[in-house]
Chains A and B, each alone.
Chain A
């Protein structure tokens, strides 16, 4: 898993509550990503970070915010969870592979259910 851990691994919450998911990496990678995975949609990028305090939006960023105060931690926050945010969330890091290609490695995922 390229030294990536996610916490919690499972969470059930209620509509309207705030939720924070944590991604932790041990190998000092510059780039970190948050994706959501839903049936029929594959994986879709929510936000990514290219350094401490440097973040940008992805394809499906509405309703989500992120923070990166340390190289090793990338937090995803749902300010007010909705049922449409029920999904499996994956963190990924980017590592330069052979030929100068960035290869993304994924964490084990967090299954979030919003009731």
Chain B
């Protein structure tokens, strides 16, 4: 079955460390997204990518970085510059712009800073 795979499911990070969250899709979708989900705040867009080797900042990009070297993969790095990284991170993909099709989501990665 096609879908989005996020790994790991749970991740613990020490303060000052960078960590990378994996997101892989086999849906042949052009666009991929990273959202952060916090209780009571819904989903906030971190970065998105329309095509390979191109990505754009979302609303809360500070302290995060991404790459899109392959169509299937869109890893997110949470850097030590991110002040409050503990959150649930969701990766999504869509055909084209997603405006008519909606998104397919992964199962998420819960990051905790210890």
Question: Do A and B actually bind?
Answer: no
Q: Which residues of A contact B (CB under 8 A)?
A: none
